[in-house]
Chains A and B, each alone.
Chain A
């Protein structure tokens, strides 16, 4: 296992109001290869805090996180090379505005690799490859990252992490603020990255349609606690989704409504629109 959370709790220090416990007693394992994990939960449930533990950006208040064999506990350990962990587990933040700063897209994507001591020419090559992977061709290299559109900025920020060639990729709401087509392209991109490299990918999202259609595993956080860890199929077959502040994917909702309204028997658990349509067609033309 590449990342092991063992009874991890994290409290944010408050301004004299005591502390705010963002995650509590979380225990989970993430493998180094082949995983495609969705991290879901309502706003303020601790998703981002959990993600920031995965590359040792913040240290747990209690418990330990083991990242590729290095144990990250509440105290800074001089024997652990935290920067190395951040290279192994690439974390992309939600808002690209927080990291884009260079004059050109190419230089900005090179920032990560050069920080890890990769020679300039090699870093340039990695940046080019990463940009290509996210679908930004060579015409973007000389552009100013601050003048790009929101979706393009997002891609550049993802490329900035991909260029470091991390073993695991963690993305904080990569699809927020994108149009439906942009979301699909982004998720197809992650699927192709995983297909091509076998790297595990963790995605924070609010979009249950994407979770159902793309992911193999879901982690549900509810007020800081890990409330569910399993496959999307198992999650969406549960009857207590509302208690977890989650909703069903649209395919399930539509098919459920249709089967209840018309009193016909349908297999409502269809992962994407195409299979949902096929299921409906079956009911219409038996």
Chain B
């Protein structure tokens, strides 16, 4: 929970902080569309470099964005593996006959146990993971079929598979980085004000953008509060011997109930208090409201708009040329 950077606003100063939230929202959407128009690894790599350059220009710590990617690492690895194994087009690069037999299977099991033991040394975990993968590969490929054989499998990697997996992962990285830039540099209140302003035309269709924006801003506002509260409840119940890590399933269920009920009660209480606080400040649902800070476009917004349009034009051009 401590490392969640996605959706987290970090106060600071710089180019992106001065931008109008509307510019940022529209630019991010347009840029994402533009990235999805790109078709080759070279193009997405260039786009990725461009995003990195933009981050550096806006003095956003690349390290911080990268840390934010950590929870999505599993998704990236999964996407990569999925593409590499399932795409069977282009030239055949690797073809390895694999035997799943008693010998190789037990070798894999032993190897896995060794790996889990080694994984206690936290520092080199990723290295151990690679060594483990290599070991499994070797065991399945080169150990003789000694004893019963359960399955034979042809492990194949094709050129297109490697290409698409790299392509997809880079594209995903760009999309995530772009949205991280948006949320990292925009206050939740500004974000909702921007959304509200952008959705205003929908009012004619009967969608109330004010209410919508209010719902979003309240939800965003209460995420950290509720996380904090959940943590406190967890500690309070742990003080009474509720161990959320160990125990049988039945006990676990009971312990989760001991967490959920106080959370619901506190959430309801909080929402009642919030409603009272809003009403006592004369909030009337549906009535138009004024703002202290009106949104206004500036020179920085113009620059951003130009860069965004140029990028979109470039990717359309690339699409047309191809």
Which residues of A are interface residues toward B (Cβ below 8 A)? 13, 15-17, 52, 55, 57-58, 83, 86-87, 90-93, 95, 97-101, 111-112, 115-116, 146, 160-161, 164
Contact A111 B258 (CB under 8 A): yes
Contacts A15-B8, A111-B258, A146-B265 given: A99-B238 contact, CB under 8 Å? no
Which residues of chain B are within 8 angstroms of A91 by Cβ–Cβ distance?
Answer: 239
Which residues of chain B are within 8 angstroms of A99 by Cβ–Cβ distance?
Answer: 233, 236-237, 239-240, 258, 262
Cβ of A96 to closest chain B Cβ, rounded Å: 9
Contact B64 A87 (CB under 8 A): no
24 A-B pairs with CB atoms under 8 Å apart are: A15-B2, A15-B4, A16-B64, A17-B10, A57-B238, A58-B235, A83-B243, A86-B238, A86-B240, A93-B235, A93-B239, A95-B232, A97-B269, A98-B266, A99-B237, A99-B258, A111-B240, A111-B242, A112-B241, A115-B241, A115-B242, A116-B241, A146-B265, A161-B239
Which residues of chain B are within 8 angstroms of A95 by Cβ–Cβ distance?
Answer: 232
B261 in the interface (beta carbon within 8 A): yes
Which residues of chain B are within 8 angstroms of A160 by Cβ–Cβ distance?
Answer: 240
Contacts A15-B8, A15-B10 given: A55-B239 contact, CB under 8 Å? yes
> Which 8 pairs from chain A and chain B are nearest by CB?
A115-B241, A101-B261, A112-B240, A98-B236, A99-B236, A93-B236, A91-B239, A13-B2
Which residues of chain A are within 8 angstroms of B238 by Cβ–Cβ distance?
Answer: 57, 86
Which residues of chain B are within 8 angstroms of A115 by Cβ–Cβ distance?
Answer: 240-243, 251, 255
List the B residue with the shortest CB-CB distance to A84: B241
Interface majority SS on A: helix, strand, loop or mixed?
mixed
Cβ of B8 to closest chain A Cβ, rounded Å: 6
Contact with A along B234-268 (1 / 0, CB 8 A): 01111111110000000100010110011001100
Which residues of B are interface residues toward A (Cβ below 8 A)? 2, 4-5, 8, 10, 64, 67, 229, 232-233, 235-243, 251, 255, 257-258, 261-262, 265-266, 269
List the B residue with the shortest CB-CB distance to A109: B240
Cβ of A160 to closest chain B Cβ, rounded Å: 6
Which residues of chain B are within 8 angstroms of A111 by Cβ–Cβ distance?
Answer: 240-242, 258
Further pairs besides A16-B67, A95-B232: 12, Cβ < 8 Å: A13-B2, A15-B8, A16-B5, A16-B8, A55-B239, A57-B239, A86-B239, A86-B241, A98-B229, A99-B239, A101-B262, A111-B242
Contact B265 A90 (CB under 8 A): no
Which residues of chain A are within 8 angstroms of B265 by Cβ–Cβ distance?
Answer: 97, 146
Contact B236 A101 (CB under 8 A): no
Report the Cα distance A97→B229, complex, angstroms.
10
Contact for A97 among B2, B5, B262, CB less than 8 A: B262
Contact A93 B232 (CB under 8 A): yes
Report the Cα distance A58→B8, complex, angstroms.
25
List the B residue with the shortest CB-CB distance to A170: B239
Which residues of chain A are within 8 angstroms of B242 by Cβ–Cβ distance?
Answer: 111, 115
Contact B241 A164 (CB under 8 A): yes
Which residues of chain B are within 8 angstroms of A146 by Cβ–Cβ distance?
Answer: 265
Which residues of chain B are within 8 angstroms of A90 by Cβ–Cβ distance?
Answer: 239
Contact for B241 among A17, A58, A87, A92, CB less than 8 A: A87
Report the Cα distance A87→B269, complex, angstroms.
31
Cβ of A136 to closest chain B Cβ, rounded Å: 17
Which residues of chain B are within 8 angstroms of A97 by Cβ–Cβ distance?
Answer: 262, 265-266, 269
Report the Cα distance A247→B254, complex, angstroms.
45
Cβ of A149 to closest chain B Cβ, rounded Å: 15
Contact for A100 among B232, B257, B262, CB less than 8 A: B262
List the B residue with the shortest CB-CB distance to A118: B241
Contact A57 B5 (CB under 8 A): no
For B10, B64, B232, B238, the residue with the greatest tally of chain A CB atoms inside 10 Å of its CB is B238
For A93, A97, A99, A111, the residue with the greatest tally of chain B CB atoms inside 10 Å of its CB is A99
Cβ of B246 to closest chain A Cβ, rounded Å: 8
Cβ of A59 to closest chain B Cβ, rounded Å: 12
Report the Cα distance A116→B237, complex, angstroms.
12
Contact A57 B258 (CB under 8 A): no
Cβ of A249 to closest chain B Cβ, rounded Å: 30
Contact A164 B240 (CB under 8 A): yes
Report the Cα distance A52→B243, complex, angstroms.
16
Report the Cα distance A137→B144, complex, angstroms.
75
Cβ of A94 to closest chain B Cβ, rounded Å: 9
Cβ of B46 to closest chain A Cβ, rounded Å: 29
Which residues of chain B are within 8 angstroms of A92 by Cβ–Cβ distance?
Answer: 239
